[in-house]
Amino acid sequence: MKNSQWELLLGLANRAQKVISGEALVLKEIRSGRAKLVLLSEDASLNTKKKLQDKCLHYNVMLYYVANRELLGHAIGKEARVTVALLDEGFAKKLASLLDES
């Protein structure tokens, strides 16, 4: 399976320690203003989706959806992840442009 460009960029951001994963940590980073972009798995629970959508909207953080938690986890070299946040403006802008294209 070939990685898409956004997956490769997310992996690079992860290696640069600019990615945080897990619902509680992502919510904390959104509230603190450090999260620049949030990726949320389509297969997340309705409760999780609503919580993250509301927080991202309230704090004006970009939110994108990915197909599933396995894809998201694989992109950062970990087990399945429901949500990740990018903490770097440059990575976030580039990732947003790649996701907008796809």
The mean pLDDT value of the chain amounts to 95
Tokens encoding 52: 């993250």
Tokens encoding 25: 């940590």
Each residue's pLDDT tens digit, 80-95: 999 999 999 999 999 9
Q: Is the dihedral of CA 70, 71, 72, 78 positive or negative?
A: positive
pLDDT computed for residue 51 by the predictor: 97
Tell me which of 33 and 3 has the higher pLDDT: 33
Residue whose pair of structure tokens reads 């994963």 in the numeric block: 21
- Separation between Cα atoms, residue 53 and residue 42, nearest integer Å: 12
Q: What CATH code is carried by the domain that includes residue 71? A: 3.30.1330.30
Structural domains of the chain, count: 1
Each residue's pLDDT tens digit, 1-31: 456 999 999 999 999 999 999 999 999 999 9
- Kindly report the backbone phi and psi dihedral angles of residue 34, in degrees, each rounded to the nearest multiple of 5, phi listed first: -85, -25
User: Containing domain of residue 9, as a range?
Assistant: 5-101
Do residues 65 and 41 make contact, with C-beta atoms less than 8 angstroms apart?
yes
